[in-house]
Structure 1
Amino acid sequence: MKKTIALLSALILFIVPCFAQTDGYFLLHYETIELYYPNNENPTYTFICQYPVIDKNSLVAEQMNEFFRLAVTEFRDVTIPMYANDKILGKQSGNIITQKYEVTVNTENYFGTLMYQEQTINGEKKESLISQVFASTGPYAGETLTLRGALGEIGESSEQIAELILEDIFHRVKSNLSAEKTKGFEQFSLETLSLDFFPEAQFFMNSDEDVVFYFLPETPLGSLSETMFVYSSEKISELLQ
């Protein structure tokens, strides 16, 4: 109990209501959490996160809201204190991590987000992306979907689809590299692509319900001129043939 009280006293937390979004299948608004750890006068870490809250009173909406609440609170209550108390990650003050969730699809079939994270730790800046796709209705309503699930369960498995996407994007990138004569990718191959690109995890869904695969900005692939690749379910069905 004493540890809990001590932790709460160290967390200077503000929750700020943000603008509402009225277009789409679900009505929603955004909330922003601002955390200063261990205090707001000279914080070792500042954490700012803007995330969606679905306003609809239903089990499906509550499931998705709970997903975001858990993700945010775990980062706030576990990750930030862990970083701050680490000998390396917490050796200087002024570190900041910001997260912003963007709703990428909000239809009767799917709800999805792409989270942009920027962090400056010990003066070093990094960017990253994390995505989720949920089923809005149907037997999996409120649950996060696999790659195959997001595509309407075509093909045999997410792994099968991922292998085809990996190969197809390899040829697209290889063609661009040859045309642009990009330096630093002379040894680019399917194997090197697979080291930093995982199609089963690195995808989100856009408002047209197409699947968009992306390269992570913190990897060498993130420096390329094209880092996002849009595939309709019809296009992927063609690759499966």
Structure 2
Amino acid sequence: MSIRTSSKALAAFFATAILSLGCGTVASRAAEDAVVIPAPTIDEAGKSSTETAIFAGGCFWGVQGVFQHVKGVKSAVSGYAGGEASTAQYETVSTGTTGHAESVQVTFNPREVSYGKLLQIFFSVAHNPTQLNFQGPDEGTQYRSALFISEPEQRKVAEAYIAKLDKAHVFKQPIVTKVTDYTGFYPAEQYHQDFLTLNPSYPYIVYNDLPKIENLKQIFPADYRKDPVLVLKAKG
């Protein structure tokens, strides 16, 4: 057996093993529906060719998969934010005691896609921002809705947009997304990267996440890219 084949077999083993460890739990709630929402009134101006933003909205498989299909996104990496480096491992984060949230670090070209547009996609199709400490079938603070902010302009855009959506009662319940200061991002284990693309027939992906990609395509056709930008391909 070649090293390449062994790596694939190991990845498949881990992918199966995590069925009972958080992401991939048996669904006890229906998959989330997309909500058509207005664009933000306040947005950033594209000042450079690269910017980074971190989004937490439930299991990172689906959030990563959505942003990987957005034009202007250079990379979308699954990982952990909100806790310490020493506890940034999947098994530990899954206990819900570390302060971490499963997150996705998105690097994008603001001249091609604005931070406001990414927020619109995040709130509309990537997750349900009204669910407190759970998302679909996944429960715990590690699945909370949060934005980890390192740029003052991102905070301004995010807070104004949340206020606008709440005032307009776009959602049936208030938005619970926390706008939080960035304290560090720690990439998740390799077997979590590109999980949606590599495991399209995995039951959790079929039920919870593939509909998000279809919703992105239908609601944001001008922003949809057919071929996702992948982490493992970028690493060679």
TM-score range, shorter chain: under 0.3
Higher-helix-fraction structure:
2
Bigger Cα Rg: 1
What TM-score comes out, normalization by structure 2 length? Answer: 0.23
Structure possessing the higher relative contact order (Cα contacts under 8 Å, 6 or more residues apart)? 2
More strand per residue: 1
